[in-house]
Amino acid sequence: MQNHFLKLSDFTKGELDDLFTLTRDLKAKQKKGVEHHLLKGKALAMIFEKSSTRTRISFEVGIYQLGGHGLFISSGTSQMGRGEPIKDTARILARYCDGVMIRTFGQEIVDEFARYSSVPVINGLTDLFHPCQIMADLFTVIEARGSYEGLKIAWVGDGNNMANTWIEAAAIFGFDLALACPKGYEPDAQVMAWAQAKAPGRITLTGDPKEAVKDADVLNTDVWASMGQEAEQKEREKAFAGYQLDESLVNLARGNCMVLHCLPAHRGEEIADDVIEGPHSAVWDEAENRLHIQKAIMATLMG
């Protein structure tokens, strides 16, 4: 098993399935109040170059529940914000901490950090990938459906970090993924090429949301402008017209479909209020599962 968690394609299906097994165990222990101090006395540094609610709190509470301690580091108030090189920060933090979680912009930043870090590095979101989130999403699907096998998962919206990570997941786990993205907002071409080669025919890309959601078991969307793209909001609103996950799209999916959204959501933009609040929505379980999956990731890497 890799000692960093930077992207799903660094792992085999078996290794990722083992994380789901451990997640189930840790979640059950936490619900029953059974102590599970697998990381007693260990410290996790959490570096944020972007905003966060779920990631910060779930990692901080997660390491605490495992018997360790989490340290929040905002790049702006550390020397990173004044230009201290990544490679220096990585080597210093490894002298104090037993693991590092980073949320940043380019994937190359987490890659470089990991190259210089002698302790495990976990990707807490980059512009390219959000692997902890997709693992939480799949765990939510497994809890509700027993498995991801044989399911059709649909993505409607931006070909962003979430979409790219779903593409890797579909190729690794072997489920069908249908994406609908507007022209010019398609997923990363290299990620798509890798996945198509690994799992030919599993992943389809269309410009028609109706086609993507047809008979789908799981429907997903995300904001139209991700963190760092705020200036493009207006232009994106125009490009994404017709891409709102609303009741008419949900009605084309399977009757028992699940609706996922990594949150935060913009109601009335990428998702309709009655869909996120409706009977198909699993977004609160999905958000909770960030805690449980990340505990399994930390325990596996840092244990």
* Residue 221: both structure tokens together: 């969307």
Least distance from ligand CP to the Cβ atom of residue 122, Å? 13
Q: Which amino acid is at 6?
A: L
Stretch of 1-9, 104-112, 158-166, 271-279 lying at the interface with ligand NVA (CB under 6 A) = 158-166
b/e map of 156-189 (b: 16 or more CB within 10 Å)? Answer: bbbbbbbbbbbbbbbbbbebbbbbbbbeebebbe
* Residue 144: both structure tokens together: 């509700």
CB 125 within 8 A of CB 156: no
Residue 230, CB-side half-sphere exposure with 13 Å CA sphere: 4
53 contact choice in ligand CP, ligand NVA, none (CB below 5 to 8 Å, kind-dependent): ligand CP
Shorter beta-carbon distance to ligand CP: residue 125 or 171: 125
Stretch of 41-49, 157-165, 207-215, 267-275 lying at the interface with ligand NVA (CB under 6 A) = 157-165
Instruction: Determine if residue 120 is labeled as part of a ligand binding site.
Output: no
Nearest residue to 49 via CA among 121, 124, 100, 111: 124
Size of the site for ligand NVA (CB under 6 A): 9
Residue among 97, 127, 222, 244 flagged as catalytic: 222
- Rounded to whole angstroms, how far apart are CA atoms 163 and 136? 14
Positive/negative CA dihedral, 204, 183, 6, 259: negative
Helix (H, G, I), strand (E, B) or coil at 156: strand
Instruction: Determine if residue 130 is labeled as part of a ligand binding site.
Output: yes
- Rounded to whole angstroms, how far apart are CA atoms 233 and 186? 17
Helix ranges, 127-180 (H): 131-145, 161-173
Among 133, 221, 289, 294, indicate the residue that binds ligand CP (CB under 6 A): 133
Residue 290: active-site member: yes
- Rounded to whole angstroms, how far apart are CA atoms 159 and 185? 5
- Rounded to whole angstroms, how far apart are CA atoms 288 and 20? 14
Stretch of 89-97, 113-121, 165-173, 219-227 lying at the interface with ligand NVA (CB under 6 A) = 219-227
Strand ranges for 32-147 from DSSP E: 43-48, 69-74, 99-103, 121-123
Q: What is the four-CA torsion angle of 198, 201, 207, 211, rounded to 10 degrees?
A: -140
Q: Which residues, numbered 262-301, are part of the site for ligand NVA (CB under 6 A)?
A: 262
Least distance from ligand NVA to the Cβ atom of residue 250, Å? 21
Residue among 98, 262, 292, 294 flagged as catalytic: 262
Shorter beta-carbon distance to ligand NVA: residue 262 or 275: 262
Shorter beta-carbon distance to ligand CP: residue 85 or 106: 106
Shorter beta-carbon distance to ligand NVA: residue 46 or 302: 46
Q: Which residues, numbered 108-147, are part of the site for ligand NVA (CB under 6 A)?
A: 125
Instruction: Determine if residue 251 is labeled as part of a ligand binding site.
Output: no
- Can residue 165 be called a binding residue for ligand CP (CB under 6 A)? no
Query: Mask of contacts with ligand CP, 37-66, x by CB under 6 A?
Result: ---------------xxxx-----------
* Residue 150: both structure tokens together: 């044989």
226 contact choice in ligand CP, ligand NVA, none (CB below 5 to 8 Å, kind-dependent): ligand NVA
- Return the active site residues: 103, 130, 133, 222, 262, 290
Q: Which residues bind ligand NVA (CB under 6 A)?
A: 125, 160-162, 222-223, 226-227, 262
- Which residues make up each annotated binding site for L-ornithine? 161, 222, 226-227
Residues that bind ligand CP (CB under 6 A): 52-55, 125, 133, 262-263
